[in-house]
Amino acid sequence: MGLLSAPAGVDKREYWGFSLYDWANSGYVTTVGTVLFAPYLTSVAEQAACGYSGTTDHPCRTNLDVLGLGISPGSLAFYVVTVATLVSALFLPVVGAIADRMARKKLLMCAFAWAGALAACAMVFVGGGRWALGALLLFIGNLCLGSSLVVYDSILIDIAPPDQRDAVSSRAWAFGYAGGFILLLINLAVVTAHDALGMSQGTAVRLSLLSAGLWWGIFTFFPFLRLRDRPPTSVVPVRSGNLVRQSFGQLGATLRHLRSYPMTMLFLIAYLFFNDGIQTVISVSSTYGEKQLGFETQVLIATILMVQFVAFFGAIVFGRVAARYGAHRTITGGLVIWMLIVIAGFLLPAHQIVPFLAMGAAIGIVLGGTQALSRSAFSQLIPKGREAEYFSLYQAGERGTSWLGTLVFGLVHQITGSYRPAIVALGLFFVVGLVLLVRVDMRRGIEEAGNAQPSIV
């Protein structure tokens, strides 16, 4: 079996269509969500508030006026992500309920993807004092990403049998890291050589944001053409009223229904905690590296490139470890490594690139594996006919949509004026997530959901 070939029992055409959506959206996740946009939006906001872009030696201390509230420019991007995720908590379950009733799931997924890609393309216009436009586009992009992933994750159950879901999920994540690596490599060249190309660094960053939107939109055509539509499988009776009203009714029924599956609910709560920690570390890493450790944009992009490269192999390795020891134990081991990473991040010295690169390599090893295996493990615990709606609850804490972590990070920074105590505060999310995860009995949860038992969990 090849490193990234379709596992036995999985249709090759659909496997490639599924995997290439990870490739497509990773252009946005890495270039916009992880590397460039948060520090760029911070600089635009600092210019508007203070008249200059803050540095480690000369920080911007003047707040922005946002709806009558004083908001630190350094916390703006994290508050936007927080608001987007709070809205997602209400909106995504509706998307999931609609998807479970639709015969054309892939069309719904791709429509959200193309809307998010358009928002990312429009980020090319964020400059000068237009921090509010940037905040709005980030909100739209994150909301559309989460909505598309609700449907995308549920398709995993359609195309992969229980024993192959860890492999399919891990390999799709690996495709995502490969795609993110290639686009970031191109953007690194553009940002690094901006003088030779006759443009400012700000212009180079905006063009990189545009490239992420184009990448996401264009490559979304592959899953649109390769995935098959299937009849809806919702087992919930259709309610009276329009589709949106029906969906809200189904959401209430699903939340009540979830209480009948204690292991599914416990896994979901554990995931919401530890994934908040993972997503916040990812989303704040570039800002932490620039504003706290004093690294230039080129260094940050190069580091994330290394993380993407290592994560490609990390996702594959975690998938193979799970095939031997089970996804549950493999995720547990990964969370222990995440706790060590947060502690190391607090101790990193400023302007020292080698320790920063070492931490990036450690993140790459566990990043893809913990997320890919969480997705496949949760898929085993979902009752049939409620796949998309259950994944909508799961997506409330998925990549780029963490809310409590970014809120804590933003608040600790605003109170202390430093990102160091903010980064170490994230360790609490991994501790709580790990304590809850070890209490999940996967075999019992799969049996309660009425699903077939895989050979190893």
136: Cβ–Cβ under 8 A, 6 or more apart, which residues? Answer: none
Put residue 385 in one of left, alpha, beta given phi > 0 → left and psi -120 to 50 → alpha: left
The fold of the 257-456 domain, in CATH, is Growth Hormone; Chain: A; (1.20.1250)
Q: Which residues pair with 65 in a beta bridge?
A: 70
Please name the CATH architecture into which domain 1-233 falls: Up-down Bundle (1.20)
Task: Locate the domains of the chain by residue range.
Answer: 1-233, 257-456
* pLDDT in single tens digits along all 457 residues of the chain: 467 788 878 899 999 999 999 999 999 998 898 778 888 998 898 888 888 887 767 888 888 888 888 888 888 988 888 788 778 877 888 888 888 888 889 999 999 999 999 999 999 999 888 999 999 999 999 999 999 999 999 999 999 999 999 999 999 999 999 999 999 899 888 988 999 999 998 999 999 999 999 999 999 999 999 999 888 766 555 455 565 665 566 567 777 888 899 999 999 999 989 988 988 888 788 788 888 888 887 788 788 788 888 999 999 999 999 999 999 999 999 999 999 999 998 888 888 899 998 998 999 999 888 989 999 999 999 998 888 888 988 886 564 445 678 788 888 888 888 888 888 889 999 999 999 999 999 999 999 998 989 988 8
Place of tokens 């795609």: 179
Residues 205 and 33: their CA atoms lie apart, in Å, by 13
Q: Yes or no: say if 144 and 115 are a contact pair by the CB < 8 Å rule.
A: yes
Helix (H, G, I), strand (E, B) or coil at 253: helix
pTM: 0.83
Q: Which of 25, 209, 205, 200 is nearest to 110 (CA)?
A: 25
248: Cβ–Cβ under 8 A, 6 or more apart, which residues? Answer: 94, 97
HSE (side-chain half, CA atoms, 13 Å) at 263: 21
HSE (side-chain half, CA atoms, 13 Å) at 377: 34
Structure tokens that stand for 428 in this block: 């609490």
| 1-233 against 257-456: fold identical | yes
Residues 79 and 142: their CA atoms lie apart, in Å, by 13
What pLDDT sits at residue 407? 84
